[in-house]
């Protein structure tokens, strides 16, 4: 990894990066292939990561977190993702899609009850927006929440919930006033043992196989009315605000995967010989290495910029949607490019399960899809630039 001249890291930032690197390389990298193969959820290492403060890096210490900034989060997450993207997405969802939303929109009681167990690593959180018929057009969701006395009654089916099979708490978005479209969406905190909530089948996936994904089925699921997050009708804005933070996390996941694939490819290009010399000395390989490195460092700049924009927005207000979407778009397409080239440089060995390169290739693809596809990122960026819809 190259130190950026434009943004030298503080000692505190270097310390969290180096500690995360040691942990990731010693505890996660050695087990990543095994968990990828079995598809088992890596609960033991996730709990350890919680103990080290990685599940609530930006959460104030008062609520069990590490009380650091977004750059610290990005630096630690990159190291975890470089070792294993499955551990990385579990960390990213806990930090940004889950804790960030409750810290920003929750009441004092909600922060204590729902953030502290996640930030301390004792429990796992999840975010549930997508439905079988509503993905990119998130405002068209069909599930309904109706207030009856002191409870909301939730009905509907949610899909593609990261950590769905194992989470203890969910942030869930449902329609409270369907006629108002996006302005009729509300956000709720739901405990996994709420009556009427069941988890659907676990999704079999191409990559990030150790991260568990499932549907959630709400059948007259009853939750106390105090579990409304923010106000009724505020849910769509909460969902979008939280996704801006999430997209910085997924951009970082893509960066970590790309870094891992790049380092393997660079090493192989120097060591592997063909026609009497290292394959890296052929322009066909050398230029791939140059393009991979350049795109990785450009991704890093966009991600650090988005992280700083998020920190500034906390102080000054305003959105950082443009910065987050640009970082996610570029970093995820870079991860696809770099992992594709890394497999090619490794030839047959890149296709073999004996090396992690094929896993990096499979893991990279999802970063162009979840938390907003590349097409949605382009839509956010182009709308922001032109002010058109």
Rounded CA separation 103/111 (Å): 6
- 186 lines the binding site for ligand CAA (CB under 6 A): no
Beta strands 197-202; 125-128: pairing state? unpaired
Using the minimum distance from each CB to ligand CAA, give the nearer residue, 342 or 366.
Answer: 366
Binding to ligand CAA (CB under 6 A) within 205-264 occurs at 236-237, 240-241, 243-244
Rounded CA separation 152/172 (Å): 12
Among 129, 326, 343, 381, binds ligand CAA (CB under 6 A): 129
Min dist. Cβ of residue 58 to ligand CAA (A): 18
- 177 lines the binding site for ligand CAA (CB under 6 A): no
Letters for 58-97 (x = contact with ligand CAA by CB under 6 A, - = none) are -----------------------------------x----
Min dist. Cβ of residue 262 to ligand CAA (A): 25
- 98 lines the binding site for ligand CAA (CB under 6 A): no
Which of 109, 263, 371, 375 does the annotation list as catalytic? 371
Among 41, 98, 105, 127, binds ligand CAA (CB under 6 A): 127
With contacts defined by CB under 6 A, name the span among 98-106, 133-141, 143-151, 337-345 that binds ligand CAA: 133-141
Binding to ligand CAA (CB under 6 A) within 308-347 occurs at 319, 321
Among 39, 60, 67, 139, binds ligand CAA (CB under 6 A): 139
Beta bridge partner(s), residue 152: 147, 223
- For residue 211, the surrounding DSSP H or E stretch is none
Interacting residues of 49 by C-beta distance below 8 A, sequence separation 6+: 23, 55, 80, 87, 91, 121
Beta strands 125-128; 169-175: pairing state? parallel
A 10 A CB-CB count for 337 gives 18
Among 45, 86, 110, 130, binds ligand CAA (CB under 6 A): 130
Interacting residues of 114 by C-beta distance below 8 A, sequence separation 6+: 102, 106, 125, 169, 189
Min dist. Cβ of residue 162 to ligand CAA (A): 3
**Residue 37 — φ and ψ, nearest 5°?**
-65, -45
Active site residue 61: no
Give the residue from 194, 200, 191 showing the smallest Cα distance to 165: 200
The answer to whether 28 and 84 have CB atoms below 8 angstroms apart is: yes
With contacts defined by CB under 6 A, name the span among 73-81, 258-266, 296-304, 376-384 that binds ligand CAA: 376-384
With contacts defined by CB under 6 A, name the span among 67-75, 127-135, 171-179, 264-272 that binds ligand CAA: 127-135
Provide the 8-state DSSP code for 96. I
Give the residue from 191, 59, 61 showing the smallest Cα distance to 125: 191
Site residues (CB under 6 A) for ligand CAA? 93, 127, 129-130, 136, 138-139, 160-162, 182, 236-237, 240-241, 243-244, 319, 321, 370-372, 376, 379-380
Which residues does the annotation mark as catalytic? Answer: 371
């Amino acid at each position: 990894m190259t130190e950026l001249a434009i943004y030298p890291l503080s000692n505190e930032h270097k310390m969290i990066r180096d500690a995360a690197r040691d942990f990731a390389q010693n505890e996660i990298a050695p087990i990543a292939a095994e968990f990828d193969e079995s598809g088992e959820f890596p609960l033991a290492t996730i709990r350890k990561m919680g103990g080290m403060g990685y599940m609530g890096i930006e959460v104030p210490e008062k609520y069990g977190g590490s009380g650091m900034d977004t750059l610290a989060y990005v630096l630690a997450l990159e190291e975890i993702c470089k070792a294993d993207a499955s551990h990385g997405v579990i960390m990213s969802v806990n930090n940004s899609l889950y804790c960030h939303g409750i810290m920003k929109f929750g009441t004092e009681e909600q922060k204590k009850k729902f953030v502290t167990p996640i930030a301390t690593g004792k429990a796992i959180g999840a975010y549930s927006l997508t439905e079988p018929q509503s993905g990119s057009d998130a405002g068209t969701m069909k599930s309904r929440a109706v207030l009856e006395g002191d409870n909301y009654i939730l009905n509907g089916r949610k899909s593609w919930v990261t950590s769905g099979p194992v989470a203890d708490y969910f942030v869930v978005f449902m329609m409270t006033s369907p006629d108002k479209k996006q302005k009729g969406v509300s956000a709720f905190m739901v405990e996994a043992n709420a009556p009427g909530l069941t988890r659907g089948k676990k999704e079999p996936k191409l990559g990030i196989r150790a991260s568990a994904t499932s549907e959630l089925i709400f059948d007259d699921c009853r939750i106390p009315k105090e579990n409304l997050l923010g106000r009724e009708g505020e849910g769509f804005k909460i969902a979008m605000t939280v996704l801006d933070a999430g997209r910085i996390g997924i951009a970082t996941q893509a960066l970590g995967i790309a870094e891992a694939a790049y380092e393997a490819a660079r090493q192989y290009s120097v060591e592997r010989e063909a026609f009497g010399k290292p394959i890296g000395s052929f322009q066909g390989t050398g230029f791939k290495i140059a393009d991979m490195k350049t795109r990785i460092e450009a991704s890093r700049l966009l991600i650090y910029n988005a992280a700083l924009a998020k920190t500034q927005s906390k102080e000054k207000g305003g959105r950082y949607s443009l910065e987050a979407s640009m970082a996610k778009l570029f970093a995820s397409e870079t991860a696809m490019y770099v992992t594709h080239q890394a497999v090619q440089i490794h030839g047959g060995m890149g296709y073999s399960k004996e090396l992690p390169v094929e896993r990096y290739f499979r893991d990279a693809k999802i970063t162009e899809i979840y938390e907003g596809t590349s097409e949605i990122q382009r839509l956010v960026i182009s709308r922001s630039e032109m002010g058109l819809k």
